[in-house]
Structure 1
Amino acid sequence: MGRVDVDVGEAATIPSGAAHLQRKLGGKEVQLFALGGAIGTSVFLTMGTYLPHGGPAGLFLAYSLWCINVWGVNESFAEMTCYAPIPSPFITFTAKWVDEALAFSQSWAFFLCQALLVPAEITALHVLLTFWTDKIPVEAVVIVTLVLYAGLNLIDTRWFGIAEFYMSLGKLFLIFMCFAFTFFTMVGCNPIGDAYGFRYWNNPGAFAEYLTTGSLGSFWGVISCMTFASFAVCGPEYVASVAGETRSPRRVLPSCFSSFKWRLGFFFAGSALAIGIVIPYNDESLAAFIAGTVPGHGTSAAVPYTIAMRRMNINGLPHLVNAIMMTSVFSCGNGVLFAASRALFVMGQSGRAPAFLGKTTKRGIPVYAVGTCLLIGLLAMMGASDSAVTVLDYFIDLCTICGQFNYFCTCVTFIHFYYNLKQQGISRDSLPYKGKFQPYVAYIGATCAVALMLLLGFDVISPFYIKWFFLDYTLLAVFPIAAVIWKFVKKTKYVRIGTADLGLNGMVQEVNDYEDLVVPEPQGFVERAFSGMWSWKGLANTILRKKHTN
């Protein structure tokens, strides 16, 4: 098929049956969304509360191990999504290559995970505001935030991309600032001249004890940190969520996925390391904030960086940290609202949700799906009658189960995809992206997802807390039961290995035709910089190109 000169800046219609969505997200918006979309409450606000559970080494070990696992999951997302960049691709893959019944459960799990994060992030915003004043009512924060989210998600997809681009830059600035603060203060560049280095790894120690004493207590401390890491460490699903609205997807998406492993290590494992350096795990101020015995519980006042800043008489910086942290949390809520609405849109089109949710405006906005997600955001009003931090914990536990179930389904789907390619004689070398160490990392990812779902509430068994037990384990039973019921009602059939339609009923060919017809969007400096910054060679090439252009 010949190539024609089409401006990709115009609204390009998405193939694959989602006829009214449009590809409006450019490379720089997708790259920054991939870079910062998953960085929010979990990295800045709540990670420090698990430091007393595992200690600095336990927290760092738990995050490092879980990052390795999520990188394996990322390889499964990447290979399938780059092959067929369509709306909510991983759910469609499960339906076409495994079983529609499993896709039904997966779609609701992913939707609930993203939708429940909307009120969670709004709750976190209110908590951050209390750093300065507790006079602003929860209701006002919820309404104002939802109005802003509505503006960014209902007007035009391009405005969503632009907003995420700049807010992601703010997240990057904050992360680099926190890392710089850690490094310079630990070597003695601070007002009190204390070169504390890794002092707190020796006193009180590298590992904390949780639930019991001795080596077993240290082990449970690492497991506790890992259960939170399973909520905090994420990202490939966000890249996949915007695949269907990305211009030049087969050029943009591979670099987003391939650099993800370095982002995992730098942002998540790096943050866990830095937090364990700046304060000891038995810090009295941190313990008082966690217990709620002093004002500021749950705000940035309880963040280890802020505690360290105040201890070193750096009084202005905590206010800047809190301000940028608020934009980061707002950005994360905006991103999960986008992901949830697109998932609900595809569910409406595929019959897994009411059909009206699959309709869009003439500008390609799934208005009913976005509106439904905004209504779910009103759950943040729970903070008006209950502790905002307690409400945030509710959402974190529910989202963890949903997220891990989605990862499990994606890994199972990839295993089917892998063996279908093999039996149908299609070389993986011909794919736009070939995942590493497959299918082994998919097996590991599926196993770890099941293990973490079972371990999520291990610390509420003895003593037994009935409320938290049901929060942690109800959905673990609901999703498999929902799949069985859907299979019985709809009489769905398991897709046997070797018989799957890898062309997705013409969807893959439509994407091929789209790529042939549209001149790829040129790779700008910002996109080259953020895709190449994770390797010296890529960064050097970017700088040389910039100099040559000038």
Structure 2
Amino acid sequence: MIALGGSIGTGLFIASGSAIHTAGPGGAIVGYTIMGIMVYFLMTSLGEMATFLPVSGSFATYCTRFVDPALGFSMGWIYWFNWALTVAVDSTTAGIVMNFWFPHVPSWIFSLVVLIYIITVNALAVSAFGEAEYWLAIIKVLTVVLFLIVGLCVIVGIMGGQAIGFHNLTYKQAPFVGGAPTILSVFLVAGFSFQGTELVGITAGESATPSKSIPKAIHSTFWRILLFYILAIFVIACVLPYTSKNLLGSSVKDITISPFTLVFRRAGLAFAASAMNAVILTAVISAANSGMYASTRMIYSMAHEGQAWKIFGRTDKRGIPIYGLMASTLVASLTFLTGIFGPGIYEFLIDSSGLAGFLTWMGMAVAHLRFRRAYQAQGYDINDLRYRASFYPVGPILAVILCAVVVIGQNPTAILEGQWQQIILTYLSVPLLLVLWLYYRLRYHTHLIPLKDVNLHGGQLKHNKVI
């Protein structure tokens, strides 16, 4: 359910509209499908490692043990910072969403309420986080299911008057608009939409039966993406022509032109805007909740690997990494800078947090390639693995290539035109990752771990040594 909640958010409810407008219905479906397949491969890679060695904050630990401690150190800190910033972004977004109903109340007040709620849930037992995510995910899933039913009724004419049919799928330049470049731009939107599915691996260390629950969650990922994203985009593209200016303007700042809202209105549901605003508020709170959990567990895991201060590895009597939670809360408090310096800080937070997800996905794929090679180099039989990734090594190799393409393609215009401010905002995570990697490697003289020396079984690894 955590993985389910992590894959449904504003990327589906809002950004899918701009993808259809940019690349047409066919381009949007192809882009989301390819990215969805890549995410499925990534999840199977993570699943193979997580069922073999279930730990909290998993993939940074895997980079440390299977590749190079410097890579694990840099990936872990980037991922922690990314999710802590995401809490700030989502808390700010919640304030913007609440202004739909209360336009005269300062948005930072609502952001504060949401942040306090997130901190409270994560400060309680792990079961409190799981329970909150379960019900938030249920709301999102039911909304998507209702949308698909209503959308299909509109297409065949049961609701909204005359049947629309499939005319809009081939309207003007549809189904494919702009060719390969526009499909590449959909990769960016789809990738951001799917970020969060890796949380199934982050939670492995606290799962009662990781060898059973993780593979089950991973296998449902592909079908979930197929159902919720591909069918939703198909319905939107049938009901609304790709030339609709409302699709281009889809934004959390104007929920009335969310593609979901437009389809519900087309069906004659007058309450659509308020209902979708409530659902999107739920999605934003869910994302913030997951972000706080992921960042807290990541810094906790790094402390146990000797890559963060020991204090972050301590827990309270309920097993909560309370000091890690406090560190993540400190970064999340950047939320309130938007109330001081204006909306420019909000855009900066979004740009700063976006790219890190793709970088960590690349690290995850590299770790899996190294894990499998080390496993075989040390004489183990892959048939003994509790769970084996699908289509190895094609899956992780494809993931590395696609993630690299997406990273490079974040803002090519800024690079070609020498817009340094935009380049810094867009690609900030890349030099930060390199600086962290170089610092750790030079200080502790780490190196790429030989396959036969890779630590496959337990023990705390610190600076290339098992202690």
1:142/1:378 contact within 8 Å kept:
no
d(CA) in 1 for partners of 2:210, 2:219: 14
> Does the residue aligned with 2:17 lie in a helix, a strand or coil?
helix
Q: CA RMSD in A?
A: 2.2
d(CA) in 2 for partners of 1:54, 1:504: 48
User: What are the Cα deviations for residues 280-328 of structure 1, in whole angstroms up to 9, with x where unaligned?
Assistant: 22213445x45xxxxx863321201212333454212332222122112
Consecutive unaligned residues in structure 1, runs of 5 or more: 1-31, 210-216, 291-295, 508-550
User: What are the Cα deviations for residues 214-249 of structure 1, in whole angstroms up to 9, with x where unaligned?
Assistant: xxx433221111112121113442001111111122
1:77/1:236 contact within 8 Å kept:
no
Aligned counterpart for 1:197 among listed residues 136, 157, 165: 165
**Corresponding position of 2:217:** 256
* Matched letter for residue 412 of structure 1: V
Alignment of 1:281-430 (within 5 A): 281-287=242-248, 289=249, 298-384=253-339, 388=343, 393-430=347-384
Percent sequence identity over matched residues? 24
* Matched letter for residue 310 of structure 2: A
d(CA) in 1 for partners of 2:31, 2:345: 25
> Does the residue aligned with 1:259 lie in a helix, a strand or coil?
helix
Q: 2:106 matched to 1:137?
A: yes
User: What are the Cα deviations for residues 518-537 of structure 1, in whole angstroms up to 9, with x where unaligned?
Assistant: xxxxxxxxxxxxxxxxxxxx
> Does the residue aligned with 1:498 lie in a helix, a strand or coil?
helix
* Matched letter for residue 441 of structure 2: K
Q: CA deviation at 1:188?
A: 0.8
d(CA) in 2 for partners of 1:223, 1:106: 25
Q: CA deviation at 1:133?
A: 3.0
* Matched letter for residue 53 of structure 2: A
Structure 1 window deviating more from structure 2 (120-129 vs 165-174): it is 120-129
Count of residues in Structure 1 that have an aligned counterpart in Structure 2: 461
**Corresponding position of 1:226:** 187
Structure 1 window deviating more from structure 2 (52-61 vs 64-73): it is 52-61
Alignment of 1:421-500 (within 5 A): 421-461=375-415, 465-500=419-454
Aligned counterpart for 1:244 among listed residues 205, 208, 212: 205
Q: CA deviation at 1:490?
A: 1.1
Q: 2:228 matched to 1:267?
A: yes
d(CA) in 2 for partners of 1:57, 1:395: 32
2:236/2:260 contact within 8 Å kept:
yes
d(CA) in 2 for partners of 1:301, 1:130: 13
d(CA) in 2 for partners of 1:310, 1:352: 52
Alignment of 1:51-66 (within 5 A): 51-66=20-35
d(CA) in 1 for partners of 2:289, 2:172: 40
d(CA) in 2 for partners of 1:429, 1:368: 41
Q: CA deviation at 1:199?
A: 2.1
Aligned counterpart for 1:156 among listed residues 125, 132, 140: 125
User: What are the Cα deviations for residues 95-137 of structure 1, in whole angstroms up to 9, with x where unaligned?
Assistant: 1121101111110121122112112212222232233231221
d(CA) in 1 for partners of 2:16, 2:245: 17
Larger Rg, first or second structure (1 or 2): 1
1:207/1:218 contact within 8 Å kept:
no
* Matched letter for residue 267 of structure 1: F
Q: 2:174 matched to 1:206?
A: yes
Name the CA shift for 1:181/1:460 in 2 (closer, same or farther; >3 Å): farther
1:82/1:250 contact within 8 Å kept:
yes
Name the CA shift for 1:208/1:140 in 2 (closer, same or farther; >3 Å): farther
2:61/2:305 contact within 8 Å kept:
no
* Matched letter for residue 75 of structure 2: Q
Q: 2:83 matched to 1:128?
A: no
Aligned counterpart for 2:150 among listed residues 181, 195, 210: 181
1:230/1:400 contact within 8 Å kept:
no
d(CA) in 1 for partners of 2:347, 2:151: 28
Name the CA shift for 1:246/1:326 in 2 (closer, same or farther; >3 Å): same
Q: CA deviation at 1:375?
A: 2.3
* Matched letter for residue 312 of structure 2: L
Aligned counterpart for 1:91 among listed residues 60, 65, 69: 60
**Corresponding position of 1:529:** none
Name the CA shift for 1:471/1:269 in 2 (closer, same or farther; >3 Å): farther
Q: CA deviation at 1:79?
A: 0.3
1:116/1:395 contact within 8 Å kept:
yes
2:14/2:259 contact within 8 Å kept:
no
**Corresponding position of 2:455:** 501
Q: CA deviation at 1:341?
A: 0.7
User: What are the Cα deviations for residues 475-528 of structure 1, in whole angstroms up to 9, with x where unaligned?
Assistant: 222212321221011111321122212113289xxxxxxxxxxxxxxxxxxxxx
Name the CA shift for 1:417/1:262 in 2 (closer, same or farther; >3 Å): same
1:52/1:208 contact within 8 Å kept:
no
Name the CA shift for 1:383/1:275 in 2 (closer, same or farther; >3 Å): farther
TM-score (norm 1): 0.79
1:45/1:299 contact within 8 Å kept:
no
> Does the residue aligned with 2:451 lie in a helix, a strand or coil?
coil
Name the CA shift for 1:270/1:382 in 2 (closer, same or farther; >3 Å): farther
d(CA) in 2 for partners of 1:466, 1:479: 19
**Corresponding position of 2:464:** none
2:82/2:356 contact within 8 Å kept:
yes
Aligned counterpart for 1:46 among listed residues 6, 9, 15: 15
> Does the residue aligned with 2:100 lie in a helix, a strand or coil?
coil
> Does the residue aligned with 2:433 lie in a helix, a strand or coil?
helix
1:110/1:406 contact within 8 Å kept:
yes
* Matched letter for residue 377 of structure 2: Q
d(CA) in 2 for partners of 1:178, 1:312: 10
